[in-house]
Amino acid sequence: MITNRVQLRPEIAAVVPYRQGSPAGANAFKLSSNENPYEPLPSVLEKLSTHTINRYPDASAHELRSQIAKRFGVTADSVQVGAGSVAVLAQLISAAAAPGDEVVYAWRSFEAYPLLVSSAGATSVPVANSSDHRHDLAAISAAITASTRVVIVCSPNNPTSTVVTDTEFREFMAGVPENVLVVLDEAYREFVVDTEAVRGETLIGKYPNLVVLRTFSKAYGLAGLRIGYAIGPEYVMDAARAVAIPLSVTELAQSAAIASLEHEDELLERVGRLIMVRTRIVEGLRGQGWNVPEPSGNFVWLPTGAATDWAAEVFRSHGIVVRALGEGLRVSVGEEESVEKLLKASQEVVHSRETNQDKPR
Ligand SMILES: Cc1ncc(COP(=O)(O)O)c(C=O)c1O
């Protein structure tokens, strides 16, 4: 039969494309995309201004990979960079999982995971978080079958901001078959102060099936340039390189990442300031009676349940744009000036729910 539509993969037709955090209008704070509110460092901008863009970038990102490798005490071939860590994750999933294979991850977690798994043609196996909004690693272990090719562990978890502890992670790894790839997604690692949290850098090289994923988007403030990386066994990184779209990491992004590493102290000082803002937010919220899981990312999670969409609108009416994700709100830690407005909005949500019984609960 001839139709006037081309044949697409049926599993792709069912995918809902990635939804970005809403933009903020004038006088509003955009706290919906876990971005860094600081402008790039002057030294980073200066480096960018010296680039021509009529030439292709270094396809192998050799200098950047070497710099990262030096920091982590690995070979440059143990590092893969991509146009955002999400691109590297897509490569890892495509390299390991095909139709009929399974990818296990906690849910709720980063919204791109199900999309990346579907585009590889593989099957997602989401495992519900525990009631305290953390990964349920025992249930994740139990979900691993002979069809599992990849397990993603996200710490701090987007959007709940909770961590997996080092002890929990090591116990978990001891039970994962060594032929299953485990990706530890640490996009928010630099914001972690919890000394018990897992730290990928201490585990690199300790497990034959572990890859650690990091990004320059969050702590380093380069989200718009798109650059992230993974560290893991060379042959796994080679497989990621084999499926990568050639030349997709720009020279600007590579240079900005190198300059950021050179000026890391200044950037990490900003991270320290954001952590202080996070503390103010959490203390304020808890003082209002919110049950906020201890945050370790540059965002906090408000479990608003059935009231989520309504609560997001209350925040918006106060000039605070947050991310409504089904059963809760994710609120990014942004400009210091946003805190007062944010806490006014959260107070109104509490007050309206207390005084107005018809508000969703
Ligand atoms: C948990 C997690 N991993 C990875 C990413 C991807 O970041 P990027 O592609 O900008 O490096 C994000 C972005 O929000 C994230 O939340």
Q: Are residues 312 and 230 part of one domain?
A: no
pTM (2 decimals)? 0.96
Measuring CA to CA, how many Å separate 254 from each of 64, 65, 87, 251, 260?
6, 9, 15, 5, 10
Which atom of ligand 1 approaches the CA of 89 most closely? 4
| DSSP character string of 107-149 | ES--THHHHHHHHTT-EEEEEEPPTTSS--HHHHHHH--TTEE
Measuring CA to CA, how many Å separate 58 from each of 31, 55, 207, 253, 321?
34, 9, 30, 11, 38
Interval 203-227: pLDDT, tens: 999 999 999 999 999 999 999 999 9
Interval 332-348: pLDDT, tens: 999 999 999 999 999 99
Question: Considering 263, 280, 303, which residue would you say is the last residue of a domain?
Answer: 263
- Confidence at residue 1, expressed as pLDDT on a 0 to 100 scale: 65
Q: Is residue 361 part of a domain?
A: no
Buried (b) or exposed (e) across 211-249, using 16+ Cβ within 10 A?
bbbbbbbbbbbbbebbbbbbbbbeebbebbbeebeeeeb
Q: Are residues 195 and 135 part of one domain?
A: yes
Of 158, 162, 188, 330, the one to substitute when testing ligand 1's pocket (max ligand atoms within 8 A of C-beta) is: 158
CA of 101 to the centre of ligand 1 (A): 23
Which atom of ligand 1 approaches the CA of 83 most closely? 9
Whole-angstrom Cα distance, residue 262 to residue 269? 14
Share of the chain above pLDDT 70, in %: 98
Q: Are residues 71 and 17 part of one domain?
A: no
Provide the pairing of β-strand 299-302 with 328-332: antiparallel
CA of 195 to the centre of ligand 1 (A): 22
pLDDT of residue 361 exceeding 60: no
Please report the sign of the dihedral spanned by the C-alpha atoms of residue 34, residue 40, residue 41, residue 43.
positive
Ligand 1 pocket list (CB less than 6 A): 34, 84-86, 110, 154, 158, 185, 187, 215, 217, 223, 228
Closest of 361, 357, 349, 119 to residue 245, by C-alpha: 119
Q: Which position has the higher pLDDT, 48 or 303?
A: 303
Q: Are residues 94 and 31 part of one domain?
A: no
Question: Considering 203, 237, 263, which residue would you say is the last residue of a domain?
Answer: 263
Whole-angstrom Cα distance, residue 239 to residue 222? 26
CA of 6 to the centre of ligand 1 (A): 33
Question: Considering 263, 288, 305, which residue would you say is the last residue of a domain?
Answer: 263
Closest residue by Cα to atom 2, ligand 1, is 187
Of 91, 108, 135, 217, the one to substitute when testing ligand 1's pocket (max ligand atoms within 8 A of C-beta) is: 217
Confidence of residue 356 (pLDDT cuts 50, 70, 90): confident
Q: Are residues 192 and 59 part of one domain?
A: yes
Judging by beta carbons within 10 Å of its beta carbon (0-12, 13-18, 19+), is residue 52 exposed, middle or buried? exposed
Of 64, 161, 185, 213, the one to substitute when testing ligand 1's pocket (max ligand atoms within 8 A of C-beta) is: 185
Residue 222 contacts residue 73 (beta carbons within 8 Å): no
| Secondary structure element (H or E) that encloses residue 299, with its range | strand 299-302
Q: Is residue 272 part of a domain?
A: yes
Q: Are residues 151 and 34 part of one domain?
A: no
Whole-angstrom Cα distance, residue 34 to residue 88? 19
CA of 87 to the centre of ligand 1 (A): 9
Of 18, 80, 86, 88, the one to substitute when testing ligand 1's pocket (max ligand atoms within 8 A of C-beta) is: 86
Which atom of ligand 1 approaches the CA of 87 most closely? 9
Measuring CA to CA, how many Å separate 279 from each of 182, 327, 336?
31, 23, 11
Residue type (1 letter), 360: P
Residue 240 contacts residue 230 (beta carbons within 8 Å): yes
Whole-angstrom Cα distance, residue 361 to residue 358? 9
Q: Are residues 20 and 86 part of one domain?
A: no
Please state the rounded mean pLDDT for residues 78-91. Answer: 98
CA of 2 to the centre of ligand 1 (A): 42
Which atom of ligand 1 approaches the CA of 85 most closely? 11
Phi-psi region of 100 (alpha: psi -120 to 50; beta: other; left: phi over 0): left
| Secondary structure element (H or E) that encloses residue 30, with its range | strand 29-30
Interval 228-274: pLDDT, tens: 999 999 999 999 999 999 999 999 999 999 999 999 999 999 999 99
Provide the pairing of β-strand 181-185 with 210-215: parallel
Tokens 């997996």 — which residue? 164
Domain extent, residue 248, equals: 42-263
CA of 187 to the centre of ligand 1 (A): 6
